[in-house]
């Protein structure tokens, strides 16, 4: 074991040393114009130089402005990626050399202001080129597309903020292998967008700042692989349901619907960017999922303007339940009271605290509520006693004490109380609660043991705590009532202690302190 560890360390050290040595060699080769001229006279080709080293050397030369057209010839059999973005000198002469590169996969010419369409002719017919970036090359016009049409290998094309028009964009439809197309800042119309629906492999489409309308946007459902869409700064207000969509940017738009025509659709967005957007009424939207996105409390006001919303998933977001305005803490959950038909609200794995929960009790139509946060405890559960329509309450993984559970007066309609992962609870407390409220199905890791216990009471196992465990932790195992004396931070520390993989090997924990992962 020690031998293999030493070997691994030696290999890592060797790799680091090798990387440093290579970097020094590249730095020496690109030190000055005279240095470059010296090795340039000795070698007419670097075809035996590994691609990643050739790429690194060329990048260093370009960064130091030591690269010139004829020097490119040295790299034509070895380099796979070239970044010349921002180089004003790039013109037809440079392109003539670049067109002879045999293994070139990525070429970045963004912001090359002197590059024009005729110069790009040199790239025609390249068989290895997969990505080309001509963004913000102001002299690039529709004529460039006829040169690119012969590059069948092209998968990513960036032509944002160029001189392209509808005619040039429509010609792009011949590049059937495109997976990414950036047309940002080009004022294309619905007609041009409709012509692109033949690009069935397209996954990323950027058309910000275009003249696209709702009519043109309706064709987007034909892009069956589309996962990223940027339509910011457009007139689009309604989008068709795009099942594969994961990232959507509608900044500076008026948003009415993002699943027009399918009100029952579940939107599985991972990222929804709506900076400076305005939200009109969305009369048909029933289900909205923003789970796993970075949406925060500022979005709740916009969501409140979706009057038909019944199911809202905000799990694993940045929702805290409050906002600070003029140094005053404002409860943001109150905004959702406008949703008169909201039946299901998922706030699992958010940053909610006890004091932001009370507004949820006033949601009269709410039947299903899921709350999970590192900062929720007894007061949060008690605040929901008046949630009159609540049928199913998920309160998993929170810091709920046995006394807190027994003091909870459940709403009259409640039928399911999921306390899975509430690791402080004891079997006695759960058993007592079940006897008091027999119509409620309680879910917890201890329920199976309670149900198989003929006597109906839970027998606490004797734990074998090591001497290293804090005396306070040991005291907490002596009786359930002692646990409520500790602060929330101390309980969280105990929780992490109970779930630590390293401690689980040396410390046996009774079932009531085990937390499922």
Answer for the pair 99, 123: CB distance below 8 angstroms, yes or no: yes
DSSP-derived secondary structure letter, 286: -
Distance, CA of 321 to CA of 82 (rounded, Å): 48
- The DSSP result for 22-71, as a single string, is HHHHHHHHTS-HHHHHHHHHH-S--TTS-HHHHHHHHHHHHHTT---GGG
Tell me the CATH architecture of domain 165-284. Alpha-Beta Horseshoe (3.80)
The fourth-level CATH superfamily of domain 299-451 is Ribonuclease Inhibitor (3.80.10.10)
Quick check: 123 and 146 in contact, CB under 8 A? no
Structural contact between residues 147 and 117, judged by C-beta atoms closer than 8 angstroms: yes
**Which residues, 6+ apart, have CB-to-CB distance to 34 below 8 Å?**
none
Structure confidence by residue, pLDDT tens digits, 25-80: 899 988 999 988 888 887 667 877 888 899 999 999 999 999 999 999 999 999 99
Q: Where are the domains of the chain?
A: 29-154, 165-284, 299-451
| pLDDT of 492 | 56
Can 165-284 and 299-451 be said to share one CATH topology?
A: yes
Burial class (CB in 10 A: 0-12, 13-18, 19+), 229: buried
Dist CA 454 CA 459 (whole Å): 11
Are the C-beta atoms of residues 460 and 426 closer than 8 Å to each other? Answer: yes
Do residues 251 and 227 make contact, with C-beta atoms less than 8 angstroms apart? no
For residues 36 and 66, the answer to whether their CB atoms sit within 8 Å is yes
Terminal C-alpha separation, the chain: 30
pLDDT along the chain (517 residues), means of 10: 50 57 88 89 77 91 92 92 94 95 96 96 95 97 96 97 97 96 97 96 97 96 95 94 90 83 67 74 71 85 85 93 90 93 96 96 96 95 96 96 96 96 93 95 90 52 36 40 51 52 39 42
Q: What share of the chain is helix, strand, coil (3-state, %, to 5)?
A: 35, 15, 50
**What is the C-alpha radius of gyration for the chain, rounded to an integer number of angstroms?**
31
| Residue 188 Cα distances to 2, 166, 169, 175, 212, angstroms | 65, 5, 8, 18, 7
- Residue 412, judged by CB atoms within 10 A of its CB (0-12, 13-18, 19+), counts as exposed
- Condensed to tens digits (0 to 9), the pLDDT of residues 435-444 reads 999 999 999 9
């Amino acid at each position: 074991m020690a031998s293999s560890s030493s070997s691994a360390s030696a290999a890592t050290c060797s790799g680091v040393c090798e990387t440093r040595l290579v970097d020094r060699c590249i730095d020496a080769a690109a030190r000055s114009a005279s240095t470059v001229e010296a090795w340039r006279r000795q070698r007419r080709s670097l075809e035996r130089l590994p691609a990643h080293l050739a790429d690194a050397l060329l990048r260093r030369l370009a960064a130091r402005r030591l690269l010139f057209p004829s020097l490119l010839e040295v790299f034509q059999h070895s380099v796979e990626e070239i970044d010349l973005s921002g180089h004003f000198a790039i013109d037809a002469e440079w392109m003539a050399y670049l067109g002879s590169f045999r293994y070139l996969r990525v070429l970045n010419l963004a912001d090359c202001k002197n590059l024009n369409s005729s110069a790009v002719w040199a790239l025609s017919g390249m068989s290895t080129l997969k990505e080309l970036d001509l963004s913000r090359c102001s002299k690039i016009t529709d004529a460039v597309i006829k040169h690119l049409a012969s590059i069948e290998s092209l998968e990513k094309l960036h032509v944002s903020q160029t001189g392209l028009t509808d005619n040039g964009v429509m010609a792009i439809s011949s590049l059937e292998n495109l997976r990414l197309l950036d047309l940002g800042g080009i004022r294309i119309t619905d007609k041009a967008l409709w012509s692109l629906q033949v690009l069935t492999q397209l996954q990323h489409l950027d058309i910000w700042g275009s003249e696209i309308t709702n009519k043109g946007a309706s064709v987007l459902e034909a892009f069956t692989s589309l996962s990223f869409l940027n339509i910011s700064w457009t007139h689009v207000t309604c989008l068709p349901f795009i099942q594969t969509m994961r990232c959507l940017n509608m900044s500076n738009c008026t948003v009415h619907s993002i699943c027009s025509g399918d009100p029952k659709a579940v939107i599985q967005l991972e990222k929804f960017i709506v900076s400076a957007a305005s939200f009109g009424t969305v009369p048909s939207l029933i289900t909205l999922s923003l789970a796993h996105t970075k949406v925060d409390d500022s979005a709740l006001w916009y969501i409140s303007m979706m009057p038909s919303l019944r199911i809202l998933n905000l799990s694993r977001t940045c929702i805290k339940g409050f906002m600070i305005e003029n140094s005053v803490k404002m409860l943001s959950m109150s905004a959702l009271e406008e949703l008169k038909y909201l039946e299901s609200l998922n706030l699992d794995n958010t940053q909610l605290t006890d004091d932001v929960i009370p507004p949820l009790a006033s949601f009269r139509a709410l039947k299903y509520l899921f709350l999970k946060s590192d900062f929720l405890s007894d007061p949060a559960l008690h605040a929901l006693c008046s949630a009159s329509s609540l049928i199913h309450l998920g309160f998993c993984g929170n810091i709920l004490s046995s006394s807190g559970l027994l003091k909870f007066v459940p709403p009259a309609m409640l039928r399911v109380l999921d306390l899975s992962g509430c690791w402080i609870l004891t079997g006695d407390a759960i058993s007592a609660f079940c006897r008091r409220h027999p119509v409620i199905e309680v879910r917890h890791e201890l329920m199976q043991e309670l149900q198989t216990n003929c006597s109906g009471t839970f027998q606490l196992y004797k734990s074998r705590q090591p001497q290293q465990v804090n005396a306070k932790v040991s005291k907490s195992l002596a009786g359930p009532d002692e646990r409520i004396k500790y602060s929330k931070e101390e309980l969280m520390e105990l929780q992490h202690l109970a779930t630590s993989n390293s401690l689980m090997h040396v410390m046996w924990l009774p079932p009531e302190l085990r937390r499922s992962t």
